[in-house]
């Protein structure tokens, strides 16, 4: 499992609820409402890296 995925699963990212985030390890490098803009922002900062790009849910799922 990637460190970015582990960070996503284990961290409180509620401040980004309803947004897209681009992670590099345990750092949120970019975030926003538009996935393409978040990706482009990430790539402008880290052109040789691949982000872990995901949407943060607005509310937690109830199991």
What global pTM score does this model have?
A: 0.86
**pLDDT tens readout for residues 18-61:** 999 999 999 999 999 999 999 999 999 999 999 999 999 987 55
pLDDT at 51: 94
The owner of tokens 């980004």 is 16
Helices (H), 1-63: 3-10, 35-45
The mean per-residue pLDDT over the stretch 3-16 comes to 90
Whether 22 and 41 have beta carbons less than 8 Å apart is answered as: yes
pLDDT at 61: 54
């Amino acid at each position: 499992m990637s460190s970015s995925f582990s960070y996503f699963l284990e961290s409180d990212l509620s401040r980004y609820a309803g947004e897209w985030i681009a992670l590099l390890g345990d750092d949120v490098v970019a975030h926003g409402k538009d996935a393409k803009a978040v990706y482009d922002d990430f790539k402008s900062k880290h052109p040789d890296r691949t982000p872990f790009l995901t949407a943060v849910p607005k509310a937690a799922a109830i199991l």
